[in-house]
Amino acid sequence: MKRSVVVTGSTSGIGLGIATAFAEAGDNIVINGFGEASAIEAAVKGLEAKGVQVLYHKADMTKPQDIADLIATAVKTFGGVDVLVNNAGVQHVAPVEEFPIEKWDQIIAINLSSAFHTMRAAIPAMKEKKAGRIINIASAHGLVASPFKSAYVAAKHGILGLTKSAALELAEFGVTVNAICPGYVLTPLVEKQIPDTAKARGISEEQVKTDVMLRLQATKEFVSIEDVAATALYLASDAAKQITGTSISIDGGWTAQ
Ligand code: NAD
């Protein structure tokens, strides 16, 4: 049976990769995120080409009302939310004392609070069905820190706490809640922070890749979008039904150190 899968922030990068993997598995998909109308249309068409139904919802993850509408629309269109993937995320790189207040608020809203709002809206129907999977895309930065990323690191550590708490609440309702902690994946989010990191550390952009991003990634390789998507599919599978309240690192050995 086709599942109903909602992926926040899925017009690009990891989110689009996860949406693609679930569409390839035959599930109906709700995608969300910003971007050029033509690019979003192309993403929807690409997913529909896998033979599934696809809905785009433009909810802004800083707006609780939009988020409630996203979940309500998914329930109305596809009869529920079987898999919720909280993926939307942004980054800003600056020292704490220079960190713009509005950037702090935006990162906490998108990278942490939006997952609370989607879960708050989706959980009642999951509990009623006694089934559901919630997958939060955290980061290696949910487990360890790097300098100049205070808001991101705080939000990602927070999402691991939210994951554990919700997992305990939902454990007897057939709903699992887990997080994925990827290391560096070359997506627009990462590409955009290379110039700022170079500036903050006074090094070249190439050195940011080799000396900062891949320094602790023991494999010396970036993680691929497909690696992350495959783990999301696994966490949504029946084989993962006893996995809850935990996180899976896909970081090339970064956090083993
Ligand atoms: P990306 O920039 O390619 O994609 C981010 C997505 O979020 C886009 O679809 C964008 O439109 C959407 N988005 C941004 N602000 C939004 C808002 N206010 N409302 C709705 N959607 C919004 O980034 P990515 O690298 O694919 O990141 C996806 C997730 O993976 C993020 O949570 C990020 O923290 C996490 N992550 C990324 C990496 C990495 O190295 N790329 C590593 C670990 C974790």
Do 253 and 219 meet the contact criterion of CB atoms below 8 Å apart?
yes
Per-residue model confidence (pLDDT) at position 169: 98
Nearest alpha carbon to residue 175 among 244, 238, 232, 222: 244
- The correct CATH number of 4-184+223-256 out of 3.40.50.1100, 3.40.1410.10, 1.10.287.610, 3.40.50.720 is 3.40.50.720
Per-residue model confidence (pLDDT) at position 127: 97
Q: Domain map of the chain by residue range?
A: 4-184+223-256
Per-residue model confidence (pLDDT) at position 79: 95
> Which atom of ligand 1 is least distant from the CA of 11?
9
248 beta partners: 180
Per-residue model confidence (pLDDT) at position 197: 86
Per-residue model confidence (pLDDT) at position 189: 86
Cα 222 from Cα 227, distance rounded (Å): 10
List C-alpha distances in Å: 107 to 2, 25, 65, 150, 153: 33, 32, 18, 10, 10
Ligand 1 pocket test, pick from 103, 146, 187, 214 with the greatest ligand atom count within 8 Å of Cβ, gives: 187
Per-residue model confidence (pLDDT) at position 193: 86
- What's the pLDDT tens digit per position in 81-139? 999 999 999 999 999 999 999 999 999 999 999 999 999 999 999 999 999 999 999 99
Q: Catalytic site residue 152?
A: yes
Per-residue model confidence (pLDDT) at position 1: 81
Do 177 and 163 meet the contact criterion of CB atoms below 8 Å apart?
yes
* CA 172 / ligand 1 centre spacing (Å): 31
- pLDDT less than 70: residues of the chain: none
Interface confidence, given as ipTM, is 0.99
